[in-house]
């Protein structure tokens, strides 16, 4: 160690320049491919979430008065719906009990007597005049990308038997002490351990089932009227929505617990498979452990500036990873912020934490929008 002259000072290049550039570090959650989950463009003058609040209030106050009017309108509309959605699997009306777990995320309970294809199908028969926007609200809603959940099947399992008798299972005890099982619908992967515990990942809605105008979550009546007018629904929607709502890409304005329910359905399917293989599997303690969301603020961000002002929360090491790791304390979420404006949020147990975290970070990011 005393040969000072044989070693060149500093910067003798990179041990593995390629490695230095690629973010192959296991401690970070995997990058989401760009292009999925594109968020709606931010609204110029309205706030979609405050529209939902407005709706919620209206519905709660006027539920009695409007019920008759709407029941009439509902029957015409649901008739139209039912005609065209004969392929759609019937949804149990009682199954949906949306819970209000946060003031910002709202799921409005279906009106009694209506087939609740959407949580709030009928309240706004006329377009709601947008409420005055909350001061700093972004109008961008993060999209959920992945959910990890665990469940206890309640009995000891013989992994060898499962791997032998199931088609969709792989089991390599030398590599990992669990069976890896996959199902196609919803497209998920599960790790099944011999103790009977199971981890299920990957619940994300995918397939194209149903008709395009089913995208539209709100203001149903307006669209059906346009539809009947003979103009393409897209034209009507795009013209109208530009005024009130974000672009037609906005499809997750009604945050009901779809991902979470998909995850639960998938876990139940795995439990069923294990049951059919002859084990007395139950479905105990289903719990969502982690949720990952992503969104795009659509402007570049000066990460160096952000790490200077928020040093206690941020970690930015361009030599290791191109993004900035922001550890928010309340709610306890980790955000990966990239120079292109894309943000990945992870570590949430409920959906509301992701939304809240994004609403907290958006004003901070806006502060770094302009260069000096």
Least separation, in Å, of the C-beta of 65 and another protein?
Answer: 27
Sign of the four-CA dihedral 224, 230, 231, 234: positive
Query: CA 252, CA 264: separation in Å to the nearest integer?
Result: 20
Q: With respect to another protein, which residue has the nearer C-beta, 57 or 206?
A: 206
Q: Decide: helix, strand or coil at residue 314.
A: strand
Of 167 and 175, CB closest to another protein: 167
Q: What's the min distance (Å) between Cβ of 41 and another protein? A: 5
At its nearest, how many Å lie between another protein and the CB of residue 134? Answer: 21
Residue 318 CB, nearest approach to another protein (Å): 6
3-class secondary structure per residue, 242-283: HHHCCCCCCCCCCCCCHHHHHHHHHHHHHHHHHHHCCCCCCC
DSSP state of 301: -
How many degrees, rounded to 5, is the angle at CA 238 between CA 233 and CA 241? 115
The first and second tokens of residue 191, run together, are 């790790």
For residue 356, the minimal CB distance to another protein (Å) is 23
Give the residue with the Cβ less far from another protein, 96 or 131. 96
Please report how many Cα atoms fall inside a 13 Å half-sphere around the Cα of residue 40, on the Cβ side. Answer: 24
Whole-angstrom distance, CA of residue 256 vs CA of residue 99: 9
Of the pair 124, 217, the CB lying nearest another protein is at: 217
User: Other C-beta atoms within 10 Å of 92: how many?
Assistant: 8
- Identity of the residue, 2 or 64, whose beta carbon is nearer to another protein in the bound complex: 2
Give the full edge-to-edge strand order of the sheet including 197-201.
169-171, 178-183, 188-193, 197-201, 143-152, 284-296, 342-348, 333-337, 324-328, 314-316
Q: Is the Cβ of residue 223 or residue 316 nearer to another protein in the bound state?
A: 316
Residues 6+ apart with CB under 8 A from 331: 348, 353, 356, 357
Minimum CB–partner distance for residue 194 and another protein (Å)? 19
Q: Which is nearer to another protein, 8 or 68 (CB)?
A: 8
Residue closer to another protein by CB (options 27, 329) is 27
CB 68 → another protein: shortest distance, Å?
26
Q: How far is the CB of 61 from another protein (least distance, A)?
A: 26
């Amino acid at each position: 160690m005393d040969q000072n002259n044989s070693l060149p000072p500093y910067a003798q290049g990179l041990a593995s320049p390629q490695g230095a550039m690629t973010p192959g570090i296991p401690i970070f959650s995997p990058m989401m491919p760009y292009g999925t989950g594109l968020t709606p463009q931010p609204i110029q003058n309205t706030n979609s979430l405050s529209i939902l609040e407005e709706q919620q209030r209206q519905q709660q106050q006027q539920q009695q008065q409007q019920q008759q009017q709407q029941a009439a309108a509902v029957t015409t509309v649901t008739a139209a719906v039912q005609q065209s959605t004969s392929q759609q699997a019937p949804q149990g009306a009682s199954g949906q009990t949306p819970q209000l777990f946060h003031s910002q995320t709202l799921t409005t309970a279906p009106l009694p007597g209506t087939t609740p294809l959407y949580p709030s199908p009928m309240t706004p028969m006329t377009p709601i005049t947008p409420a005055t926007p909350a001061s700093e609200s972004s109008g961008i809603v993060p999209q959920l990308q992945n959910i990890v959940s665990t469940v206890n099947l309640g009995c000891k399992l013989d992994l060898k038997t499962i791997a032998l008798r199931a088609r969709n299972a792989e089991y390599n005890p030398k590599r990992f002490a669990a069976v890896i099982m996959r199902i196609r619908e919803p497209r998920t992967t599960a790790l099944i351990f011999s103790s009977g515990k199971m981890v299920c990942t990957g619940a994300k809605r995918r397939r194209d089932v149903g008709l395009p105008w089913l995208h539209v979550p709100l203001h149903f009546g307006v669209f059906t009227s346009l539809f009947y007018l003979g103009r393409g629904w897209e034209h009507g929607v795009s013209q109208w929505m530009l005024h009130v709502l974000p672009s037609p890409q906005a499809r997750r304005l009604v945050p009901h617990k779809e991902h979470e329910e998909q995850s639960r359905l998938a876990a139940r399917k795995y439990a069923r498979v294990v049951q059919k293989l002859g084990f007395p599997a139950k479905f105990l303690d289903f719990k969502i452990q982690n949720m990952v969301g992503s969104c795009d603020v659509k402007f570049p961000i000066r990460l160096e500036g952000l790490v200077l002002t928020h040093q206690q929360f941020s970690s930015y090491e361009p030599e290791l990873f191109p993004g900035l790791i922001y550890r928010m304390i309340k709610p306890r979420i980790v955000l990966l912020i990239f120079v292109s404006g894309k943000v990945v949020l992870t570590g949430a147990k409920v959906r509301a934490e992701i939304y809240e975290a994004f609403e907290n970070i958006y004003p901070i990011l806006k502060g770094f929008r302009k260069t000096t």
